[in-house]
Structure 1
Amino acid sequence: MQVAANRSVAPSGERSAGQRTDFDVRALADDGALLDALPIAAGVFGLKQKKLWVHSLNKKFFDLAGCSGDAESFAEFFVRYSASEAGEFIRNYLRNPAKSPDEIDHVDGEGPQKRFLKLKVAPLVADSGGEPRCLLSVVDRTIEVQAENNLRAEMLRDSLTGLPNRLSFTETVENCGGTSKRDCEYAVLVVDMLRFSRINESMGSLAGDELLITFARRLISALRGGDILARTGGNEFGILVGLKRGVTDALAAADRIQQIMSTPFKLSELEIRVECAIGVALMHTKQDAEELFRNAQFAVKQAKAAGTPQVYEPKEASAARRRFSIETELRRALDKDQLKLFYQPLINLKSGEVAGFEALARWTHEDRGEISPAEFIPVAEESGLILQLGRWAMDNAAQTLANWDKAIGETLPLYVGVNLSAIQVARDNIADMVSSALRSSGLTGDRLTLELTESSIVQDPGRATRVFEALKALDATVAMDDFGTGYSSLAYLQRLPIDVLKIDKSFVSGMMRDPDAVAIVRAVLSLAEALGMSTTAEGVETVELATTLAALGCASGQGYYFAKPLEEDEALAYWKSRRRR
C-alpha cells in the first residue's frame, strides 16, 4: 500500500506533532478495493512522524461515516474523530500495541442521532518507511444496543402502573448509596396495602388492578421533588426519599401517605377504605441496597402489628434472626432427639407426698448452651414445630412413668402432666396423640393430666369442647393452666369437663405482700370448690406460701420450695424421699 502525503489536514484543537492528522485523498481509493472483501467497515491507519495517517478505506467505511464515498467530505469527519477517544485509541495502539487495548466501545453523537460503535484494531507490517500500521474495523451496534436498552427499560418497568419495578428500585438505591457522603442522607419506605387479597378475591382481578393503579397515583401525589416511587411487589411499593432532618423527614413522608390514603377509593360504585402499613429504614454509607430494602420490609411487619409506621431497629431484627436460627436448630434437635424432659414435682399440700410431676422440655444446645423454653417454645408454635415437639413430649412422658412403675415393681400413685399449646389443639388430633402414647406405654388414661391454657379454649371454644370430651373419654385428667391470666369465661368453666385449675404464680408469689393477691387466690379456690374442681398453685417458693395455701384449701403446689425440675432418675429418687412408709 502506497502512502502519499501531497495533502495534509491539521484539525483545529490538534496542534502538537503527536496529535496532528494527515492523509492523502488519492490514497483513500488506492487500496480500498482490497478491503472491500471484508463484510464490515475497515481501514488501514498508521503513524508517520507521530501523526495519524489514513492509508486506505473500504466502501463500507465511507458509508458508515456518511460521506457517500466522497473523500473530501471524509476530511471533516476524520478531523473530528481523530481528536476524539477513537483517534486516541488508534494512536495509542500504534505507539505500543503490547500495552494498549485492541478493542473499545465508542459512542458517537448525542440524542436521537447517537450511534454505538465497536472499534477493533489488528497489527499490520510497517510501511516502506518503517512507520507502524494497523487494520481498524468498525461495527455499528446502534440497533443492537437500542434493542438492549429498550429491553432493559421494559425489564425495569412495572407493566401495570408504569412505575419502576423492584430491580430498578434496588439499582437506584444502590447508586444513591454509592454517592452518599453521610449516614441517614436517604431512607427507604416500604408501603404495604393491607387486605388487598380480600379485595382482589371479592371484586375480581380487574378491580384489583384498578385499585393498584389508583393507589400508585395517590402515592405519587404524596411525594416531594426528587423522591422515587416503585412497585416492588404485588401490593407493595418502595419509596426512596432524601433526608435533611433525618428520621423526622422519613416519618413526615409516612404521615403524608397515610393522610392521602384516608380518603376512600371508589371501585365499581363502591367506596373502599384502604389502609397501609409503612416501614422505614435509614440508609448508612456503603450499605447494601438489598439489605436496606429488607430492613424496611422487616419494619413493615412491625407496623402491621403496631398499627403505626415503624422505623427499623437493628436490635429487633437481630432478635428475629436469632428466632429464625433457633427454628432451624430446633428442627435439627428434634430430628436428632437432642431435647430432654425434666419433671417438676407437684406436692399434695396436706400429706406432703408427691402427687405427680409436670413434664417440662429442656434444650441444651451444643454451641449455644441452655436455651430457655420461654425462647424456643414460642418459636416452635410460630413455625409449627410444636406439633412434633408435643408428640415427642407426650410419648416420652408416658414412657417415663411406665419405666418408673417397672423400676419399683408396682403401679405408682403418680400422674404426669403434659402441656398442650393452643396450636396443638387447633391443628393436631389430640385424642389420637394421647391414645397412641397410652398404647405404647401401657398406661391407663388416669395417669395422664393434659394442661391447656385459657387461650386454647378462647380461640375456638367448639373445637376445645370436642378435644376435652375426647380426652375425658380416655379417662385423662384435664387441667386449665395459668388460670386467671387469660380471658376465661365462667361459662367455659361450667360447661367444659375441666378437672383442675392451676393458679398462676403471678398471684401466688404476691400473696405474702399483697392482700388483693390473697383475695384472688381465695376466690379461685372457692370457685373451684363450687364447680367440683381440684386446684394446684404454681410458683410456691417459701414455706410460708406452702402453709398459707394449705390453710386456704389448695390441694397441691409446685415450685422451687419443693424442687426444681429434675431429670428422670432424680425425679424418681425425689418421689421415694417423700414417700411415707
Structure 2
Amino acid sequence: MQDGSTGVDLAQVVMSAAVGLAVTDLRGRLLRLNDAFAELLHRSVDDLQGRATAEVLSSPEGAHDVDGTVEQLLQGIPTVTGDVLVHRRDGSVLRGQTLSSLATTGAGTSVVLLQLLDAGTRGRRRPVGDHDALTHLRSRSAVLADLTTRLPARSGLVGVLTCDLDRFRVVNESLGHRVGDEVLVGVARRLLAGVRCGDVVGRLGDDEFVVVLGGLTDVAEAVDVAHRLTRSLAAPLEIEGTDGPREIRCAVSTGLVVVDLGAPPCPKAGPGVPALDAAALLRDANTALDAAKAAGGGCCRVFTGAMREEVIRRLTVENDLRRALERGELRVHYQPVVRLADHRRTGFEALVRWQHPDRGLLLPAEFLDVAEDCGLVTAIDAVVLEEALDFLVRHPGDRVAVNTSARRLDGTFATAVARGLRRRGLAPERLAVELLETSLVSGDATTDGELADLARLGVAVLLDDFGTGYSALSYLRRLPVSGLKLDRSFVSDLPDDVTSDRIAAAVVGLADSFGLSSICEGVETAAQAAHLAAQGWESAQGFHFGVPAPEESWFPRVGAPVPTVQVSA
C-alpha cells in the first residue's frame, strides 16, 4: 500500500510510528494499525485487525463518527479532529482524540489515515476541536501534544519545520483580510499535499505554520522535505477576488531542527542548552526560521548549536544594554578630523562606547546590531547627541559630528536637535549629523522631511560610508546632503590598488561637482594621506591622525595629572 503522490509505503509508516496510527477504508474498517494504536486500547494488533473503528472506538455514550468524518474529508477538509470515549475490556476508560486525513494507495484507492491520541494524559482532557478554525490544521497545543507523545520513545530522528510567509502583512493591508485568509487556507492545503504520510501539519498562529516530520532515515531527508515545501509554497496562488481571480505570490521562510531521540544527552551541555522537550524543539525551529529571514527570506535554514549560542548572546547583550542605559554606562570617545592641506584639526567625530562592568570597554560592533533589532538604538543616539552638545559648550572653538540611525529620523529628531542647540546657545553649524548611506530608505517622506528640517536649521548632513550602498546618486539628487565620507574599505589599499584609487578619485570629483565637502575615513599612513590630498580630498580621519579617545585625552584639565586613558579603535 503506497501513497500515490510520494511513493511512501503507508504500511511501513503506520507500523513504525511512535504514536497510535491506523489505516482504514472509507467504511471505517481497520486495514493496518501499529502497536501504539493497539496499546492505547489495551488490545493486540491481531485482535483489532479488520474490525470497524465504530466498534473499537466506542462506549455507551457513543462511537467514533466514521460517516461524518469521511464526508468532511471528501469535501476537502484536510484534517478532521474528534473526541472519543472508549470503555476498554479491562474496565478502564480512554479519553481519546482522533485526527483523520485522506491518503491514496498505489492502486488509486482512497483510505483514511487515523491517528489516536490519549487526551487524558496528565489528568486533563484535551478540549474538543483542538484544531485551527480557519485552516482545519492542528493547533499549536495539539502539535506540542503530538511531539510530547513522540519524545518518550527515545528512538529515531524527528524533525520540526516552521514556516512563515514573508511580508504577509502587505497582503492583508492591501487586499483585505478575506483574501489573506484565503491565502492561509491555500498554504495549508499545499503543506498537506507536500508532506509525507504520517507527518503532522499545524498552524501556530497568524501566518506561521509547523510540520512535525517523523520516521526520518537521515537529516538529508528532512532537508529535502523542507526545500521542497519552500519551493512549493513560493509558487503563485490563485485567489478569487471581487474583480475576478487574482494571482498572489508569497515567499516563504522556513526553519528546520532535526534531533535523534535515541542519542544520549551531551555531557558537555551547559546551562544555556534547554532540555529536550516539545517546546524546546519548536523554539529551535523558530530560531532557524529567524536565521532564514535574516538571510533575506524565501529560503530554509537548519538549526545549529551556533544559532542557539547567538540567540543567547543577543539576549544577554540586550538585557545588559537596557541596564547600561539606566546606569549611565555609555561613553563617548572623540576622533579628530583634520584638514589634509595642512593637517590642522577642524573638529571631531563623536563615537559611542560601552563601559561594560564585566567585559570592559566595548566597541559599537559588539552591541549596535542588537540595539537596532530591539529598538534601543534611538536611546543610544539620544545619549550621544546630548554628550556631544555638552562637549561643544565646553570647547567653543570646535565642531562635532554625531552618527544617527535612520530609525531615529522619526519626525522628532530635528526638533530635538534644535531644542538642544537652543538650550545651550550653540550655533547649528558647529554640529553635523552622519547617516549611513545603506540605512536610508529611498522615498521615505518622514526621513526626507527630517533631513530638510536639519538643513533649514543649519546642521550639516553627511553621508557616511559613501559608495557601499545602491542609491548613492539618487540621494545626492534628492536629499539636502552637505558632504560625503568615503568608506574606509576604499582607503585601506591606497595608494597601490588601482581600483580603489579610481573609486576615491571618482567620489571626490562627484563631491566637487555637487559642491559638497569631502572626508576620508580610515587613513592610517602618511602615504595614504598624501595620495588623498593630491586627489583633492578636503579632510580625513584615521589612526594616522589620532585614535578615538575620551575627551580628557584631547583637552586635559589645567593642573590635573595627565590621565591614563583607554583609547579605542
Superposed pair shares fold, TM > 0.5: yes
Q: Are the equivalent residues in 2 in contact too, given 1:194–1:274 (CA < 8 A)?
A: no
For 1:362-373, list aligned pairs within 5 A. 362-373=353-364
Of stretches 456-465 and 249-258 in structure 1, the one that deviates more from structure 2 is 456-465
Tell me, yes or no, if structure 1 residue 316 matches structure 2 residue 307.
yes
Aligned to 1:419: 403
User: Which of 218, 228, 240 is the aligned partner of 2:190?
Assistant: 218
Q: Are the equivalent residues in 2 in contact too, given 1:417–1:451 (CA < 8 A)?
A: yes
For 1:152-171, list aligned pairs within 5 A. 152-154=126-128, 156-171=130-145
Aligned to 2:289: 300
Question: What runs of 5+ residues in structure 1 fail to find an aligned partner?
Answer: 1-83, 85-108, 116-139, 405-410
Specify whether residues 165 and 334 from structure 1 end up closer, same or farther in structure 2 by C-alpha distance, changes over 3 A only: same
User: Which of 326, 329, 333 is the aligned partner of 2:320?
Assistant: 329
Tell me, yes or no, if structure 1 residue 270 matches structure 2 residue 242.
no
Specify whether residues 464 and 194 from structure 1 end up closer, same or farther in structure 2 by C-alpha distance, changes over 3 A only: closer
Alpha-carbon distance in 2 for matches of 1:200, 1:497:
35
User: Which of 175, 185, 208 is the aligned partner of 1:236?
Assistant: 208
Tell me, yes or no, if structure 1 residue 189 matches structure 2 residue 161.
yes
Specify whether residues 551 and 216 from structure 1 end up closer, same or farther in structure 2 by C-alpha distance, changes over 3 A only: closer
Of stretches 437-446 and 539-548 in structure 1, the one that deviates more from structure 2 is 437-446
Give the length in aligned residue pairs. Answer: 434
Q: Summarize deviations over 1:20-51 as a string: whole Å, max 9, x none.
A: xxxxxxxxxxxxxxxxxxxxxxxxxxxxxxxx
Tell me, yes or no, if structure 1 residue 526 matches structure 2 residue 526.
no
Specify whether residues 208 and 453 from structure 1 end up closer, same or farther in structure 2 by C-alpha distance, changes over 3 A only: closer
Q: Are the equivalent residues in 2 in contact too, given 1:345–1:571 (CA < 8 A)?
A: no
Aligned to 2:487: 504
Q: Specify which structure has the higher proportion of helix.
A: 1
Alpha-carbon offset, residue 242 of structure 1: 2.3
Alpha-carbon distance in 2 for matches of 1:308, 1:393:
38
Alpha-carbon distance in 2 for matches of 1:230, 1:507:
50
Q: Are the equivalent residues in 2 in contact too, given 1:387–1:428 (CA < 8 A)?
A: no
Task: Say which one has the larger Rg.
Answer: 1
Aligned to 1:565: 548
Matched to 1:505, the amino acid is R
Alpha-carbon offset, residue 383 of structure 1: 2.1
Alpha-carbon distance in 2 for matches of 1:145, 1:241:
22
Aligned to 2:437: 454
Q: Summarize deviations over 1:60-107 as a string: whole Å, max 9, x none.
A: xxxxxxxxxxxxxxxxxxxxxxxx9xxxxxxxxxxxxxxxxxxxxxxx
Q: Summarize deviations over 1:176-233 as a string: whole Å, max 9, x none.
A: 2221235xx1101112344544445556555554544443333222222322222222
Alpha-carbon distance in 1 for matches of 2:363, 2:172:
43
Matched to 1:510, the amino acid is D
Alpha-carbon distance in 2 for matches of 1:187, 1:208:
28
Q: Are the equivalent residues in 1 in contact too, given 2:253–2:297 (CA < 8 A)?
A: no
Q: Summarize deviations over 1:309-340 as a string: whole Å, max 9, x none.
A: 22112213322332232222212211221101
Specify whether residues 461 and 194 from structure 1 end up closer, same or farther in structure 2 by C-alpha distance, changes over 3 A only: closer
Q: Are the equivalent residues in 1 in contact too, given 2:483–2:518 (CA < 8 A)?
A: yes
Specify whether residues 257 and 461 from structure 1 end up closer, same or farther in structure 2 by C-alpha distance, changes over 3 A only: closer
| Percent of aligned pairs sharing the same letter | 34
Q: Summarize deviations over 1:267-325 as a string: whole Å, max 9, x none.
A: 35524445433221112437121111111122223334242222112213322332232
For 1:536-547, list aligned pairs within 5 A. 536-547=519-530
Q: Are the equivalent residues in 2 in contact too, given 1:164–1:231 (CA < 8 A)?
A: yes
Q: Are the equivalent residues in 1 in contact too, given 2:352–2:363 (CA < 8 A)?
A: no
Specify whether residues 175 and 371 from structure 1 end up closer, same or farther in structure 2 by C-alpha distance, changes over 3 A only: farther
For 1:393-542, list aligned pairs within 5 A. 393-404=384-395, 411-412=396-397, 414-425=398-409, 427-460=410-443, 462-542=445-525
What is the TM-score normalised by the length of structure 1? 0.68
Alpha-carbon distance in 2 for matches of 1:512, 1:564:
21
Q: Are the equivalent residues in 2 in contact too, given 1:243–1:249 (CA < 8 A)?
A: no
Alpha-carbon distance in 2 for matches of 1:158, 1:327:
34
Alpha-carbon distance in 2 for matches of 1:145, 1:284:
28
Alpha-carbon distance in 2 for matches of 1:266, 1:457:
35
Q: Are the equivalent residues in 1 in contact too, given 2:287–2:307 (CA < 8 A)?
A: no
Alpha-carbon distance in 1 for matches of 2:239, 2:447:
42
Alpha-carbon distance in 1 for matches of 2:431, 2:174:
47
User: Which of 138, 154, 168 is the aligned partner of 1:180?
Assistant: 154
Aligned to 2:64: none
Aligned to 2:101: none
Alpha-carbon offset, residue 469 of structure 1: 2.9
Matched to 1:112, the amino acid is S
Partner SS for 1:224: coil
For 1:241-252, list aligned pairs within 5 A. 241-252=213-224
Alpha-carbon offset, residue 542 of structure 1: 0.8
Aligned to 2:372: 381
Alpha-carbon distance in 2 for matches of 1:200, 1:478:
37
Alpha-carbon offset, residue 402 of structure 1: 1.1
Alpha-carbon distance in 1 for matches of 2:515, 2:174:
50
Aligned to 2:279: 290
Aligned to 1:132: none
What is the TM-score normalised by the length of structure 2? 0.69
Alpha-carbon distance in 2 for matches of 1:531, 1:112:
84
Partner SS for 1:517: helix
Of stretches 446-455 and 537-546 in structure 1, the one that deviates more from structure 2 is 446-455
Matched to 2:431, the amino acid is L
Partner SS for 1:560: coil
Aligned to 2:58: 112
Question: What runs of 5+ residues in structure 2 fail to find an aligned partner?
Answer: 1-41, 43-54, 62-90, 98-117, 266-275, 563-569
Q: Are the equivalent residues in 2 in contact too, given 1:193–1:274 (CA < 8 A)?
A: no
Q: Are the equivalent residues in 1 in contact too, given 2:288–2:303 (CA < 8 A)?
A: yes
Matched to 1:237, the amino acid is F
